[in-house]
Every structure is written in structure tokens, then in C-alpha cells.
Amino acid sequence: MPLFGLSTGAEGNRIFGWEVDVLSSTLSKTGLYDFHVANGAKMVPFAGYSMPLQYGDVGGGAAHHHVRTQAGLFDVGHMVQSFITGPSATAFLEWLTPSALSELKPFHSTLSVLLNDKGGIIDDTVICKHSDDKYYVVTNAGRRVEDLAWFEQKLAEWNSSDKSSSGKVSLEVLDGWGLVALQGPEAAKVLQAHVKEDLGKLYFGQSGYFDVAGVKCHVARGGYTGEDGFEISIPPEKTVEITELVSKSPVQLTGLGARDSLRLEAGMCLYGHDLNEDITPVEAGLSWVIGKSRRESGTFIGASTVLQQLKDGPSKRRVGFIVEDAPAREGAKVFSPAEEEIGVITSGIPSPTLSQNIAMGYIKNGFHKKGTEVLVEVRKKMRKATVRPMPFVPAKYHREP
């Protein structure tokens, strides 16, 4: 997802190619703000919040490698955590999203998308099913206003219609709750030291309530880096305590700078850059979130456009690129060998892991196949690039056998 270069720092209002929210006059703070400052964080505006870019003199590249080889801890408490509950909660969320939530087992989760009437992506979200009448939903901080307005509008429509005949649905936003992401090959060992239950039996895409050092937390296995890891939702009064506990060596506090390079290597989208309301899940390469039964029923918002694209193919597709010579940043144009404009870069960095310039973006259908040679305009020069599948770095999730 529901975010975040290399060790050279910020470039004006951009951090390694993506814009920070420099225009915010009043920034919100997560429950870990004082903790970050005390640990030497360089704070920057992001999605309406003051968030850590990096800590001390540890640059983005070094922090990136530490997550890939050991473990890093990210504050993601700016994300919007909510419960959607009620007897018809499953049907309601299957109206708002194309995911087959009725087929999801309890305490299993899926990446999904909220769609507008034209099939465009209002936001990407992680939905965890606790039961048929209770869901834990995480959405992006930068889309808080739009998402909550959409939820409230659709809840009002739903609860005043026959669709809610089995019972009304409600939304509870967990304001103030902490959310940290513990990511990397040492993550499980670190968290296991504070949890009695065997985390080896908690697989990617699963979650549960666990006592972490005596504090009841919602723990979900997954994350935004492509590494094994956990996202831990913590009661407000215990957020700092639990964060201090799980951030000790070999864990390193990690900021937005490294998070952007990690997520791009993992092929993950950043809303507002790689996704927006004019892009459909089919164009974004997210057709896999559309359940087979949902394709047959077509009962979700935006279904007409989405199902037509599934049948006929979209006009553009999100792909990965390897770019020669210089890194391509967001907005760089993509051309065919004949120099016909055929696409645009939405995210791009020099990859710390691969020592190559990687990027993702959208390209005209027909040019999207693996190995297709194209040109990308970088600093007013045409650079050779090759289309390649994502992720760029293989995922290392702890999957169920």
C-alpha cells in the first residue's frame, strides 16, 4: 500500500523522486513523534503528518540494506485504521470493492481497492476479515478525507436501503492507535521473543490478536517491503512502550527514505503516484484482487468499466523498467524505438539492492511484454530502457506450505 530513495537526502520538496507535503501549515503527529525526535529523526511533512525521513547519520541506502539483511521498524501510525462492523458488513464491502470477501477465512486478509463509479481507484487498502460481521481496514493517510467521506456516503446509502435488511453497518475509526511495521529476515525472531504463541504458524496474509509483552495487539503478517514481517496495531497508551521493545538491536529504526526504495524494489504501488482515480485495477496490474465470483456477479461499484477491460484488455498497463545511464523520475516520458510517446514513469530510483536504475510506470498496451526495448527521456536525453516484470527483488514472505 495502503508509501516512501537513497542516501543523498531530500531534493527541495522531493525526496528521492517523490514529493513531500511541503505546503501543509498544520501537520498532524503520530503517537511516536516525540520518540522519533528523541532518536535523532529528521522529520519531514508527508501526507499531512510530520514523519521521519531518516535517523541520525544513517542514510537511506544503509537503512535499506539493513532491512534486507536484518530488520527495520517503520512508524505507519499515520495510516487510517478502522473497523467496519454489522450483520451486512461483508455485502457492504463487496459493494465497495471487487474482492471476494465472503470467501475469505476469518483472520485472513487481502489487498483490495475502493473504486469509483468509473472503476477508478479511490484508494488501495488492506482488508482483514475477523468475522462475517467485522472487518479491520487500513487505508492511506493521504486519502483520509476522501476515503472517510466515501465511506460515510456509501454507509448512508446502504443503511437506508433494502440491502441492509439483515442489519445496518457502522464505521469506527481507530484514531490514536499506533501502527508499526517490523520488516526483515530477523523480524520474526525479534517479535517471537515477546510473544508466547508460535509465530511460525502465522503465515503471510494472516493476522490475530497476540499479547506482545502483556499488551493485546493486532498482529498481521505482511508489509510493504517484500520481506517477511509484521504490522502491529497497538493501543494508544502502549504505543511507545511496545515500539521501544521491538526496536532494539538488531532492529534499526527506519524512515520514509528507505521505505520508498524498498517498496519500489518489491513492485508495490504508492497512491497518488502509481495509482489515482483515473486508473483502474486492470490497468494497474491488480486484476488479481478481483475475485472470480465477483467477475461473474459484477455487483461492485465500477464493475462495468472493470469487467469490460478484463474482457477486451486495457489501453495501458503498469509495468517495471530497467533504465540505463540515469534514473528516471516520476513524470519522465516513455517512447517507442521510433520515438512515439507511449507511456510515463510514475516512480523511479537507483536500486540499492540491484545497483541498477529501476522504475515503474504505465505503457501503451502491446508494448508491455517482458523484454520490450523502449526509450525514456531523462534530463532531456533519450535513455535505453527495458520492460521487465515486478517485483524487481523476489519476495521473501512466510507463506503457508
Mean pLDDT of 186-203: 98
Whether 11 has a pLDDT exceeding 80, the answer reads no
Which cell is 115 given? 473504486
- How sure is the predictor about 2, in pLDDT bands with cuts at 50, 70 and 90? very low
pTM over 0.85: yes
Give the 3-state secondary structure of 43-75. EEEECCEEEEEEECCECHHHHHHHHHHCEEEEE
Could you tell me the pLDDT band of residue 19, with boundaries at 50, 70 and 90?
Answer: very low
pLDDT tens digits for range 119-166: 999 999 999 999 999 999 999 999 999 999 999 999 999 999 999 999
| Cβ neighbours of residue 72 closer than 8 Å, sequence gap 6 or more | 63, 66, 182, 183, 184, 225, 251, 252, 253, 254, 258
Name the amino acid, one letter, at 369: K
Query: All 3 cell numbers of residue 272?
Result: 497518488
The per-residue pLDDT for 5 is 25
Q: Tens of pLDDT along 275-294? A: 999 999 999 999 999 999 99
Residue 25 has a pLDDT of: 59
Task: Please give the mean pLDDT across all residues of the chain.
Answer: 94
- Tell me what percent of the residues of the chain surpass a pLDDT of 90: 94
Interaxial angle between packed helices 60-69 and 256-265, expressed in degrees from 0 to 180 and rounded to the nearest 10? 60
